Amino acid sequence: MVNFSKNKNCPASEDLLSFQTCRLTEREGKVIRKHLGACDFCSAEVEFYTHFPQPEDTVEPAPIPQPLFELAQALMNKKKDNSFFSKLMEEK
C-alpha cells in the first residue's frame, strides 16, 4: 500500500505555495519540480493551491484587550491570584 502523506524529504507547505506562485529562485524551483515528479502527495498539494489560491493581502490581528491578555497570562502561568477576573468583568 502506498503511503499518501508528507515525509521527511518533502518541502514545507510554504515552499510549495511559493513554488506555485512563482516566488522561488530558479534553483529552488528546480529542486521542488524534481521532487514533485516523484511525490504524489506534494503534487496534490500544489494542485490544491492552484485551484484554491491563497489571498495576497494579510490581515492584521486585532489588539487583545489588556484584561484578557492578563487572564491569558495568568492561565498560562497557572497564577493563583484571581484579581484578573475582576478586571475582566469590569471591562465593558
The pLDDT tens digits of the residues spanning 44-87 come to: 999 999 998 777 767 788 898 888 888 888 888 775 666 655 66
With a CB cutoff of 8 Å and minimum separation 6, the contacts of 54 are: 17, 21
- Distance, in Å, from the CA atom of 88 to the CA atom of 47, rounded to the nearest integer, reads 46
H runs (alpha helix) in 1-92: 13-20, 26-38, 40-51, 66-77, 83-90
Indicate the average pLDDT of the chain: 84
How many alpha carbons fall within 13 Å on the CB side of residue 89? Answer: 5
Span of 6-10, 16-20, 33-37, 66-70 with lowest mean pLDDT = 66-70
**pLDDT confidence bin for 29, thresholds 50/70/90:** very high
**Residue 47: its pLDDT value, please?**
95
With a CB cutoff of 8 Å and minimum separation 6, the contacts of 84 are: 67, 70, 71, 74
**Residue 58: its pLDDT value, please?**
73
